[in-house]
Copies of this chain bind each other. A is one copy, B any other.
Amino acid sequence: MVINAMEKIMQDLLDEYKSRLQLSCTCEQCLEDIMALTLNKTKPRYVTNVDKIMYIKADYVDKQQMTSLLVTLAECAKIVSDRPLCENSVKKVKGNEMSYM
């Protein structure tokens, strides 16, 4: 099994900063859209063993690197918040296209 360590690192970051990202919707779909967008903009760090994720995470203890991840996360949170595609929101916004990609 291979796993991208950035998935766990970004999920932890989203959980930590969720309340401060001024999200217009916090439903599961919007949070997943934020995660997918963020991970698409982040260099992957695949490992072959979940135990190795912590070594990758240790690289980001460096504050500047973690800040850079947080900036990406905040940018993607804004994209999704400006144009949420979940069922709660999509009916309200006319001409909303069904993808961020």
Contact = CB atoms under 8 A, between A and B. Distances in A.
Tallying the copies of this chain within the complex gives 2
Nearest to A36: B46
Nearest to A43: B40
26 contacts: A1-B32, A2-B7, A2-B32, A2-B35, A2-B36, A2-B39, A4-B4, A4-B39, A4-B44, A29-B48, A32-B48, A33-B48, A35-B46, A35-B48, A36-B46, A36-B47, A36-B48, A37-B46, A39-B44, A39-B46, A40-B43, A40-B44, A40-B45, A40-B46, A42-B44, A44-B44
Interface of A: 1-2, 4, 7, 29, 32-33, 35-37, 39-40, 42-48
Contacts of A40: 43-46
Contacts of A43: 40
A45 B40 CA distance: 6
